[in-house]
Amino acid sequence: MKVALRIVALIFSGLVCTVIAMIPFVPALPSITSPDLLAALCCFWVMRRPETAPLPVIFLLGLAADLLLMRPVGLGALVLVLMTEALRTQVVALRDVSRFVEWMIFAAFFTLATLGMLGVIWVTFAEVPPLGAMAQRIVLTVACYPLVGVVVRVLFGVTRRTASGVRV
């Protein structure tokens, strides 16, 4: 029952992150891109409680974000799934790392995922977003990761079990 409630909480918070992304980050400066809160949320959740973040839920959240944010349909969902599944394979290794190291791992994964998405867009001859805007998005998303973590931990109690069984 607790797992089902956490899955519902992930769906709810993922949809909230998508709606927040639809709002201009700074209304006076529309050129500033908004952070990818959904990616930060899903990665945090997978690293903390992988059993409550099933692949179909993450894919559907990514697909909903693609549709609502008018991005190439399926590409963001695919990148989100690949990123979270790569992190899921490392959950045991990441169990005892510090929060700073976890943050830097997210930064590396998100940067690689964004560059991969840009590569796919470039290969398909679609219009490639400006590199400055994508760099800004990477920096803002990585900067928001600890805040997303605090909110998820406080609101939903998503913690990580260490090797010794202690919740962190």
pTM: 0.91
DSSP-based three-state secondary structure for 32 = coil
Token pair recorded at residue 135: 């760099």
* pLDDT given for residue 38 in this prediction: 97
Q: What is the DSSP letter of 30?
A: T
* pLDDT given for residue 126 in this prediction: 85
* pLDDT given for residue 102 in this prediction: 94
Model confidence over 66-90: pLDDT tens digits? 999 999 999 999 999 999 999 999 9
Q: Are 148 and 40 in contact (CB under 8 A)?
A: yes
* pLDDT given for residue 1 in this prediction: 61
Token pair recorded at residue 126: 């679609």
Q: Are 55 and 11 in contact (CB under 8 A)?
A: no
Output phi, psi for 167, to 5 deg: -85, 130
* pLDDT given for residue 160 in this prediction: 75
Which residue positions in the chain have pLDDT lower than 70?
Answer: 1, 25-31, 161-168
* pLDDT given for residue 29 in this prediction: 66
Give the contacts of 6 (CB within 8 A, at least 6 positions apart).
Answer: 49, 52, 156, 158
* pLDDT given for residue 23 in this prediction: 85
What is the C-alpha to C-alpha distance for residues 74 and 157, in angstroms, rounded to an integer?
Answer: 30
Output phi, psi for 45, to 5 deg: -65, -45
Token pair recorded at residue 87: 């992190």
* pLDDT given for residue 84 in this prediction: 97
